Structure 1
């Protein structure tokens, strides 16, 4: 490392080498340095900018009469540093304000140049992509800079903390820091400084030029950044206007606790709504002057207490006959308490899908009645997709506790029913999907997606995810999924991309008998 402080001379052109910019590659025999551009072959093997991780033998010292290069065994830290350095100098146009996406740029670069970086590797490991994400996060305090701390506000974007220093120098300083840590540990000395402080001190010691040791300027503002900020301001203004409209449409719930509000048929939104202390009180249906009679509108009041803990018998007694016959789907239009949008009874009615469970039931009926020549198989009912209703919550909670983990209660989803989708076959809930809106300024989060066994592989979950995506236009959507869950392929069909791996994400949720991995992929759909 002391050699960094010396002025070196190229063996071929006899010109001085610029410290930390083009320190050259050193011959392992005569210890002389050569510019990468002065090499007889024109460049190092592979042509990666800043790639000096070779055991080099110059032409004069070589036993074969020509320059000799033998690839050193690279660590993942060296590979990622080299990738970011090459991308920053040769492919700056791909960057967003100097940052590169960890998967689209860094992982793709390593994948393209795998044979150059790892020529002796016979087979790459399956989890090498997760290793890249882990190294970026681990060394984020002093080697790599995350875009989440800048105007990009995206954690999946990374750059070098010291972009003007070559990967070889950064690697050597890191090795010196590790050596000092080992010596201090052998002497049982307590560490006073952090890794970031130690690395910064060593960098200033061996690279005295302040222009080279400057960190990446996170205060830079490019045209794209200004446009992004303007877009955020516009979205904020639209959100404020939307909130004002909601206040006009919705009543003041603080003054009316635990009341079910019902709207009488109105010709405009300026008429006053009617409140009833008794939810079972009947509302007379008014006749419209221009047409037939209209049914009253109902509002799912988030401040109203829905008794979702009743057993099946109690709930069936409380339901009207037409609700029992139509599969627990309310025929009337409801008003969302979150967005003030009128929600129709159905999202979609599917009459074509024929799941494997229905096929099995049909085969059983045909086999049991094969001796009856007059037997006719009853037509199957459609699969109905609807918004979540209070009647669905007990069954959904039961499914979540059975197939996910205990203690799940999705009653809160009644506060934003327009971000939900429940699939029903008659009165049986066969699937559901929920999205939590506005977890961040421009980001929504998919919390649960489920389809009953026997009803899978027939695009039920695909439509529910599609519906949730359509409710979040203009916003990023994120989710967590177990790393061995095949649902990841479904999300990738819609454009979700894995940003990082969260170790032991489900450790405090999953039961011990669950076969799914407790590690999770954090996926994002950028809009």
Structure 2
């Protein structure tokens, strides 16, 4: 993780075994939470809500997923460990953490008050602050904790730019602007009041337009769809009634598009546009020509971890469809004694990528019900499995993480007709179960769906019957039952 230097290192020469040794230091809850927030801020800023992360569904979930990395496998979880996370954040809020209540008007969202200071330096500042506090108490000096903290902060931070606190303007330059460009310093109540008064004064003076305050180049880089950009600018221009300015900006945008067509990293969940232009721009020439599986690692926006390009490569399974194709080829070439079957391609089990989404949506709309869009699965690719035979998607499975604190939910498992009964769905289900240690897994299955027996084989048990569960989805002409079993795989 970014900023993680909490190890005791023994070099090769000093080690008794003549090998380098890294031993995890015992971390306090403050160090763990600061480290996780620092990592999320630097590696997965797209998961934040205006720069803030939810303490339970993002911070605590990340800690649980990486428990052995942070605490080692010898430290067991207590039942109330999530409460410790919330209590630690609240206790140190006046020093190191900042609540999002005043910004996004919602509780339980937090970020680092000083995002540019490393976790190691924050740990050092806290230790120095506690030592100074004990010293002041022994000398009977009446000094407040905040004064001690500010003194220690100035002593340990050499660069003034590192002491710059979290401000709302930093967030607005990262996201698509939704508010006025008047940055509000959420650290100072007096500055908040002053900025609100300035905003009211500007509104009374009939400010002409919001358009000049927008950094167009940064805005264009964060925009994948030209339609969405034109809509946003049109809305602003109508409000400001400045048509000439709108034409100038749109002209600038078109020229920018001609010069630079490179979009964001296609593995990042921002790039979820399904337009043909966006898909083609996000792939290199080899992928366009051959359609092969990417060889590079995939960065997950959910956990910030790098995923391998392959989950599994199967060269032994021989589904019915491939058997039929082989028979057709042999029959057509039966008069050619020198003919031999060409080598078959492997079945590649991979994580979901943006270029898979259009084909997956098409299969879902054909075999399940209309209106399904699985673009959001790009936000948590480690809980997915897509099966490819060369360029053809023959199966997929998706799991939605953390629908509650102790539960995951399997939303879709599908294998094409002709490719079934070859172990494809079995491995996909096995993979999803392996990605969810310590969590119960729920799913709904139609009472007439033979996949129910596959779930039973893995240990899923019927928890209850849900009448008319698929009533709004399955068409009347489909013979499949609209009632469903709610099945649970218990940990």
Q: TM-score, normalised by structure 1?
A: 0.45
Q: TM-score, normalised by structure 2?
A: 0.49
Report the structure number with the largest CA radius of gyration: 1
Which structure's residues are more often helix, by fraction? 2
